Amino acid sequence: MRHRKSVIKLGRTAAHRKATLANLSAALFERKHIQTTEAKAKATRSFSERLITLAKKGSLHARRYALKRLRHKRIVKILFDEIAPQYADRPGGYTRVIKIGQRQGDGAHMAVVELVGFEAASKKKREKEKAKEAETKKKKKVKAEEAEEEKGQPEVKEEKGKKKATKSKLDVKEVKEKTDAKAKKKEDKDKGKSKKKK
């Protein structure tokens, strides 16, 4: 019988479940909010809140235990140095689960898990996205200006083409003059030969 067994199994084996929760919690501690299914969100909430309570102790034993559960030294450092000090005076309720409706593909109920008090992190992310959009707009404007300049340049190319055409006309004239000179020389030779024969 499963009396008083509160673990959410998520349809996984124990090892797979531990790995899933470790990865989701690591992502939560790193990004301060994640989007996942409701069941995983609720399981992640309990897993990560226990780790935050552990991190508030700050002892070496607590660090080693957190490393055993999370499996990433960098994430444990973030948890103990950034997140735990923020919740020093808070007795619990470090995370928030917000339901966001169903996923389009399979209709799974989705939710966002976020750390309470770290909304500034999401604001910074939005600001970064806005800055990236502004940069892309600037790049597009610069490209458009370059394209307009290139559209203006064909006139110059046409002028160069005219110059080339005039050059080619000069070349034709020179060739004609040369051929005329050769023809005259031949005529002079023929005249000279005919005079000798007489």
How far apart are the C-alpha atoms of 144 and 119, rounded to whole Å? Answer: 37
Contacts of 35 (CB under 8 A, 6+ apart): 100, 110, 111, 112, 113
Q: For residues 134 and 131, what is the distance between their CA atoms, to the nearest angstrom? A: 5
Band of pLDDT at residue 6, cut at 50, 70 and 90: confident
Sorted by where each begins, the domain ranges of the chain are 14-117
Beginning with the edge strand found earlier in the chain, give each strand of the sheet holding 33-37 in spatial order.
33-37, 109-115, 95-102
Question: What is the chain's mean pLDDT, rounded?
Answer: 85
Q: Label residue 133 left, alpha or beta by phi (over 0 means left) and psi (-120 to 50 means alpha).
A: alpha
pTM: 0.61
CA–CA gap between residue 57 and residue 51 (Å, rounded)? 10
pLDDT beyond 70 at 196 = no
Rounded mean pLDDT of 11-29?
96
Higher pLDDT, 124 or 170: 124
14-117: CATH topology: 50s Ribosomal Protein L17; Chain: A, (3.90.1030)
- What pLDDT does 128 receive? 80
